[in-house]
Structure 1
Amino acid sequence: MTRDQFDAFCGTLPKSMHVIQWGGASVWKIGGKIFAICHHRADASGGKISFKCSDLSYSLLIEVPGILPAPYLARAKWVQIDQADALSDEDLKAYLANAHKLIAANLSRKLQAELGLA
Structure 2
Amino acid sequence: MPTGREAAGKRQAPARLPLREHRLRARVSLEEIMGRTKLSRRFLEAIEEGRYGDLPGGVFTVSYIRQYADAIGYDAELILEHWRKTSAGAEEPVVEVRRTQTPRWIRFFQSV
TM (norm. structure 1) is 0.28
Where is the strand percentage greater, Structure 1 or Structure 2?
Answer: 1
More helix by share: 2
TM-score normalized by structure 2? 0.29
Greater radius of gyration (CA): 2
> Relative contact order, CA 8 A, sep 6+: which one is greater?
2
